[in-house]
Amino acid sequence: MQGSYDIWLVLLSIGIAVMASYIGLDMASRVNLAKRVHLRQLWLIGGTLSMGCGIWAMHFIGMLAYNLPIPVAYHIPTTLLSLLVANLVSGLTLFMASRKSLGWMKLLLTGTIMGLGIAAMHYVGMSAMQIAPTINYDLPLFSLSLIIAIIAAVAALYLAFSLRDENSPSTIWKKAGSAILMGIAIVGMHFTGMAAAVISPDSICTAAAPEYSGDVLAVIVAICSGLIVAATLLLGMLDARVARQAEKEVRMMTRELRDSEERFRTMTERVRDIFSILSPEGIVKYESPAVMDALGYEPEELIGNNMFELVHPQDNEAVQYQFERVLAGEEMIRPIEFRFRHKNGTWRILEAFARNELANPAVDGIVVHSRDITEHKQSQQTIWNLAHHDALTGLPNRSLLQDRILQAIHQAHREGHKLAVLFLDLDHFKHINDSLGHHVGDALLQVAAQRIESCLREGDTVARLGGDEFVVLLPSFQSDADVVMVADKILEELGKPFEIDGHGLHIGVSIGISQYPRDGKEPGHLMRMADAAMYHAKANGRNNAQFFTEQIDSVARERLQVENGLRLAIQQGELRLYYQPLVDLKTNVVVGMEALIRWEHPERGLLSPGSFVEIAEDTGLISIIGEWILGEACHQAKQWNDQGFALQVAINLSVRQFDSGNLHQTIVHALRQSGLPARQLKLEITESTMISNIEETSQLLERLRSLGIQIAIDDFGTGYSSLSYLKRFPIDTLKIDQSFVRDIGVDTDDEAIVTAIIAVAHSLKMGLVAEGIETERQLDFLRGLGCDIGQGYYFSKPLPPDAFTEFMKNRT
């Protein structure tokens, strides 16, 4: 029996096949893309039903499209069975398409099962036709329908699997194309199967009466399944749209997040500052990479650890306190500094700011921004040390000492105890420094500093003020005996010989002690009092310690008064030069005079040099005074020259004038200004001046002598110079000190010394001046030994210029 096809129903079945295929592809994606398990299950069930119903509807409508000349009825349970098969096949397709992987073997096997399943649905559906005799099948076409079904199933599965991950707008078209292909293949299988059916020409409908008209059934099935398919499609499209929208938003947010993360990372990675996020308990939640460079830790090593465990124990409480304040919502105005353990075990100094970001869900912690300031601190410390310490000995300098004394005074005041300041001046240091050179002097000071330190306890301070002056601060003591004990220890230590650069050196120390609150209440005052006591110790024979007393105070005050008065005296012209004649002992002719300074004090009258020259030397005022003396003496000598008294003027030079560096210039200036010939100028220096800085002094004297100026050694015999110096220095005259002359006729020892000095001078072809001649006997003795020139009260006391002029006039 031959049937005919209703073309509209055929087209409808093709349409439904294509839609069902599309649903299959779409559902595979949806199942795969669903993130949650229950969503996957929902899409799987929904997809199975709509795809199964779609395929089944295509098949059933395809069957209805075939019009037989006899009425056809369908056995409902069998028809429903075919529907079940269609759904099982769909379920299997979607399940397999949503698997993680699908190898070729699995694909072929599953595809074959599915193909056979679709065929089974078809042939089960066919068997629902209630006609007799039963339908036979043409084997080749039947086989072809199976092959088409399998190929279509494999292709469908492959496409569903490969397109499932794609979710771009173009995927819709890919899916649509694939769905058309698949739909045609399924329809092809169906109609091949239909073509394989051989219906006997005498077939009749076995049903009593057809339960439903084929057309009505087709429309109902088509509408129902179409609705299911369309609803599923709509749902899928809607879902896709929502998903695309959501995805777009997620993409935008992701981009923004990525950008901001990038910005944050750039900020935290490229800067040397460390950013940390801590929990309220101090547990590290985030650490920026800079922590590696600064503190040696990988960020991961710190995350999860308590930050406070790495803070220096001494700083921990302060850091915790600050952290608690931030936790309480306080804002930090100034950064906190603390030591933090580097991975290598050393301590680094960090400066940190913390901000409470607990309320910010994106941070949810305390943000700490810290910076390693160790180097900065160290250089600050170095600068501070340089500014507050003596470069040679490394001891605190004057400025730091004053600060320490001040602190100690505050503490002593609070706690009601006493403190002591010991002023130390090394004895004979200058001599060693000048004679053996600065390098020996420096080394001596360094060793002396160490020895002083070794006598002190922790908390005491020893400072170097410069030169050979040291100050010891004892911030607390009970009785004077404690201070005496320290002073004695220092005296003992510095009294031991020093072995420096191959020289065995002996020095001592003079110590002056002042104490708070008895002697003064502020650092400068205490230092001055200790200094005054130290002078007293020096005057007391050196190498001893003296407490400050009222009597010392008056001496110190006196010195201060003289110093201040002397400054005024220079400005107000109170200084005078007196002249004492020098007489040729053979001819009794005045050949020269010695210029001797006097201070015409407005209240105290005429003061002799003994009361102010030493102070002028100590304070450095001697440089200005010495310059004035040179100018004045040369000027006066030139005047006498002009009056016909061509005399040589002798001027005393202080050792400090040699230190000034401009002595040569000053002398030349005085000679040029006055017009006095250089040969009429004689410079008197003491033995100690001569041996201080031997090289420089001898060179300077040599230069002066080359101008025609004469050099005399004053007070010869009282110093400790070696006779060998006499040969090394350019000396014209030796002046025998008056202490030897005074005892001529009294002390034979002194007479012997005078005799020896005269013999030495003669043998070295030097001139001789004996000073302090007061008696005829002294004069005779000296004259008898061949002494050239004499000076003393016997001839004249030092005279002011006018009197000296008179004296000269009277002599001629």
The 3-state DSSP class for residue 479 equals coil
Q: Closest distance between ligand C2E and the C-beta of residue 656, in Å?
A: 9
Q: Output the smallest distance, CB 676 to ligand C2E, in A.
A: 16
Neighbouring C-beta atoms of residue 468, cutoff 10 Å:
21
Nearest CA to 590 among 542, 538, 645? 645
User: Does residue 692 touch ligand C2E according to CB under 6 A?
Assistant: no
Which residue lies nearer to ligand C2E by CB, 13 or 580?
580
Rounded to 10 degrees, the C-alpha dihedral 112/116/122/125 comes to -150
What is the closest distance, in whole angstroms, from the C-beta atom of residue 567 to ligand C2E in the complex?
A: 17
Q: What are the Cα distances from residue 787, in Å, to 751, 762, 771, 797?
A: 13, 9, 11, 20
Is 734 near ligand C2E (CB under 6 A)? no
> CA 783 to CA 788: how far, in whole Å?
7
* Cα 32 from Cα 801, distance rounded (Å): 127
Which alpha helices (H) appear in 646-731, and where do they start and end?
Answer: 655-659, 663-674, 687-691, 694-706, 724-728
Q: How many CB atoms lie within 10 A of CB 810?
A: 7
Q: Characterize the bridge pairing of strands 498-500 and 469-477.
A: unpaired
DSSP H stretches of helix in 128-213: 139-163, 169-196
Report the nearest approach of ligand C2E to the CB of residue 543 (Å): 25
Could you say whether residue 608 binds ligand C2E (CB under 6 A)?
Answer: yes
Provide the minimum distance between the beta carbon of 735 and ligand C2E in the complex, in angstroms, as a whole number.
Answer: 7
Of 462 and 655, which has the nearer Cβ to ligand C2E?
655
Among 232, 654, 674, 689, binds ligand C2E (CB under 6 A): 654
Q: Which of 218, 534, 629, 769 binds ligand C2E (CB under 6 A)?
A: 629
Nearer to ligand C2E, 91 or 772 (CB): 772
User: Interface mask (CB under 6 A) for ligand C2E, residues 762-801, using x and -?
Assistant: ---------xxxx----------------xxx----x---
Neighbours of 78 (CB within 10 A): 16
Q: Based on CB atoms, which residue is closest to ligand C2E, 90 or 791?
A: 791
Distance separating alpha carbons of residues 736 and 715, to the nearest angstrom = 6
Comparing CB distances to ligand C2E, the nearer of 687 and 771 is 771
Looking at the DSSP bridge assignments, the partners of residue 736 are 716, 770
How remote is the C-alpha of 710 from its chain's centroid? 63
Under the criterion CB under 6 A, does residue 597 sit at the interface with ligand C2E? yes
Least separation in angstroms between residue 778's CB and ligand C2E is: 9
Cβ 617 to ligand C2E shortest distance, Å: 8
Residues ≥6 apart with Cβ < 8 Å to 526: 405, 421, 514, 515, 516, 519, 520
Q: What is the spatial distance between Cα 313 and Cα 310, in angstroms, rounded to a whole number?
A: 9
Site for ligand C2E in 525-584 (CB under 6 A): 580
Looking at 3, 210, 296, 609, which residue binds ligand C2E (CB under 6 A)?
Answer: 609
Q: Which is nearer to ligand C2E, 43 or 640 (CB)?
A: 640
Interface with ligand C2E includes 714 (CB under 6 A)? yes
Task: Output the smallest distance, CB 597 to ligand C2E, in A.
Answer: 4
CA max distance for the chain: 192
Spatial contact of 674 and 620, defined as CB atoms under 8 Å apart: no
- CA–CA distance, 201 with 70 (Å, rounded to integer): 10
Residue (111 or 798) nearer to ligand C2E, CB = 798
In the bound state with ligand C2E, the residue whose beta carbon lies nearer, of 448 and 569, is 569
- Which residue stretch of 518-526, 590-598, 599-607, 691-699 sits at the interface with ligand C2E (rule: CB under 6 A)? 590-598
What helix, strand, coil percent values describe the chain, rounded to 5? Answer: 60, 20, 25
**What is the C-alpha separation between 610 and 593, in angstroms, rounded?**
19
Regarding 733 and contact with ligand C2E (CB under 6 A), the answer is no
In the bound complex, what is the minimum distance in angstroms from residue 435's beta carbon to ligand C2E? 21
Is residue 610 within the footprint of ligand C2E (CB under 6 A)? yes
Residue 681, helix vs strand vs coil: strand
Q: CB of residue 768 vs ligand C2E: minimum separation in angstroms?
A: 15
In the complex with ligand C2E, the residue whose CB is nearer, 519 or 715, is 715
> Given the complex with ligand C2E, which of 199 and 650 has the nearer CB atom?
650
**Closest approach of ligand C2E to the CB of residue 537, in Å:** 24
What's the CA gap between 618 and 640, in Å, rounded? Answer: 34
| Interacting positions 136-195 with ligand C2E (CB under 6 A) | none
Least separation in angstroms between CB 775 and ligand C2E: 9
DSSP secondary structure letters along 66-101: EE-SS---B-HHHHHHHHHHHHHHHHHHHHHHTSS-
Q: Cis (ω within 30 of 0) for the bond into 133? A: yes
Q: Is 379 in the site for ligand C2E (CB under 6 A)?
A: no
Which of 287, 372, 715, 788 forms a contact with ligand C2E (CB under 6 A)?
715
Q: Does 623 bind ligand C2E (CB under 6 A)?
A: no
* 614 binding ligand C2E? (CB under 6 A): no
> Under rule CB under 6 A, how many of the chain's residues touch ligand C2E?
23
Give the nearer residue to ligand C2E in terms of CB position, either 609 or 800.
609
In this structure, which amino acid lies at residue 746? Answer: V
DSSP letter for 522, please.
Answer: S
- In whole angstroms, the minimum distance from the beta carbon of 653 to ligand C2E comes to 6
596 binding ligand C2E? (CB under 6 A): yes
Q: What six digits make up the tokens of 137?
A: 């099948």
Site of interaction with ligand C2E (CB under 6 A): 580, 595-597, 608-610, 613, 629, 652, 654, 684, 714-715, 738, 771-774, 791-793, 798
